[in-house]
Amino acid sequence: MGLLAGRVAIVTGASKGIGRVLSRRFAGEGARVVCAARSADLLEETVALVRADGGEAIAVAGDAAREEDVRRLVEAARRAFDRVDTLVNNAGDGGPTRPVQDYTLEDWRYTLDSCLTSSFLCARFVVPAMIEAGRGAIVNVSSVAGRRGLAFRAGYCAAKAGQLGLTWGLALELARHDITVNAIVPAAVEGDRLDRVIAGQAQARHTTPEEVRHRILERSPLGRLVTADDIASAAVFLCSDLARNISGQCLPVTAGDPAA
């Protein structure tokens, strides 16, 4: 029996990267997984991988920042598996890397909607199902950028800080329903998105990607980047009974960076 046996989990941003790893790990721990993201084709790839691992999953394509899409997501989860008791808010675009004077209102709204509004909407629509189930666990995947800031990423920093505020508020509000709400606060996570951020930072700072990567690694006492599997391990723990009395917390996954 896995740590999440019997759970029904919605994982947003499940089409690739961290979300794909989360989906596979949750299924491997016994959860039935509802994989959500905008790209239907990539979602089906994730579901195929889960099933090849021996797990159970469905795909529901849609935009987690759109109210009707989230309503449809939760309804589809309940039709398929009768209930929902676990939510991982992983969806979110990093937004542009550019000076604030070049940051457009459209950039700002898109980044906040992608990272923060999506987390709010998914919580809003899944909480009634969790109350009905008699328990629940919500995990918001935030970032160290929401704790200490990051130059040239104003929208992303604001959105990720907002996720932490949402975590604290919901944890207090939902405790009476036996619903825990926590956040994971990763440092730089190895992968394609980080490569794009590094390229953007190098351009904004008039330096090289190698120098930016070196500065990131200097922040890590362990001398390495965080991986998607590290994030999945933290999420499995926070959604399991091992963390039943942990709520309203922000768990740093930072390869030892004490400033996070």
Per-residue DSSP letters for 17-39?
Answer: HHHHHHHHHHHHTT-EEEEEES-
Are residues 135 and 158 located together in one domain of the fold?
yes
Q: Same domain for 112 and 203?
A: no
- pLDDT greater than 80 at residue 36: yes
Which residue shows structure tokens 């996570």?
Answer: 189
What pLDDT score does 188 carry?
81
- Write the pLDDT tens digit of every residue in 49-85: 999 999 999 999 999 999 999 999 999 999 999 999 9
Are residues 134 and 169 both part of a single domain?
yes
Q: Angle 67-81/118-133 helices, nearest 10 degrees?
A: 30
What was the pLDDT predicted at 131? 98
| Residue-level pLDDT at 260 | 67
DSSP per-residue string spanning 183-245: EEEE--B-SHHHHHHHHHHHHHHTS-HHHHHHHHHHT-TTSS-B-HHHHHHHHHHHHSGGGTT
Tokens describing residue 29: 């721990």
Give the range of the structural domain holding residue 150, as residue numbers without chain letter. 8-187+227-252
Which residue is associated with the tokens 């899944």? Answer: 126
Once rounded to an integer, what is the mean pLDDT over residues 39-54? 97
- Average model confidence (pLDDT) across the chain: 93
**Mean pLDDT (whole number) for 87-99:** 93
Residue 260 lies in a domain: no
Residue 258 lies in a domain: no
Kindly state whether residues 91 and 201 are assigned to the same domain.
no
Number of separate domains in the chain: 2
Chain mean position to CA 56 = 20
Instruction: Give the C-alpha separation, 74 to 71, whole Å.
Output: 5
Tens digits of per-residue pLDDT, 189-219? 887 777 777 777 777 777 887 887 778 778 8
Arithmetic mean of pLDDT, 156-169: 97
Percent of the chain residues past pLDDT 90, beyond the cut: 78
Residue 44: exposed, middle, or buried by beta-carbon count in 10 A (0-12, 13-18, 19+)?
middle
List pLDDT tens digits, range 103-137. 999 999 999 999 999 999 999 999 999 999 999 99
d(CA 88, CA 122): 9
- In the structure encoding, which two tokens stand for residue 195, read together? 């490569």
**Statement to judge: residues 213 and 95 lie in one domain:** no
Q: How far is CA 86 from the centre of its chain?
A: 13
Whether residues 33 and 151 fall in one domain: yes
Give pLDDT, residue 258. 80
Q: Indicate whether 244 pLDDT > 80.
A: yes
Confidence grade of residue 101 (pLDDT, cut at 50, 70, 90): very high
- The answer as to whether 242 is a domain residue is yes
Active site residue 110: no
pLDDT of residue 225: 86
Residue 98 lies in a domain: yes
Question: Do 175 and 202 belong to one domain?
Answer: no
Question: Of the residues 26, 156, 231, 257, which is catalytic?
Answer: 156
Could you tell me the pTM of the whole model? 0.92
Residue 31 pLDDT more than 90?
yes
The predicted-structure confidence for 178-192, as pLDDT tens digits, reads as follows 999 999 999 888 877
Give percent of the chain with pLDDT exceeding 70: 99
- Dihedral pair phi/psi, residue 17, rounded to 5°: 55, -135
Query: Is 2 a member of any domain?
Result: no
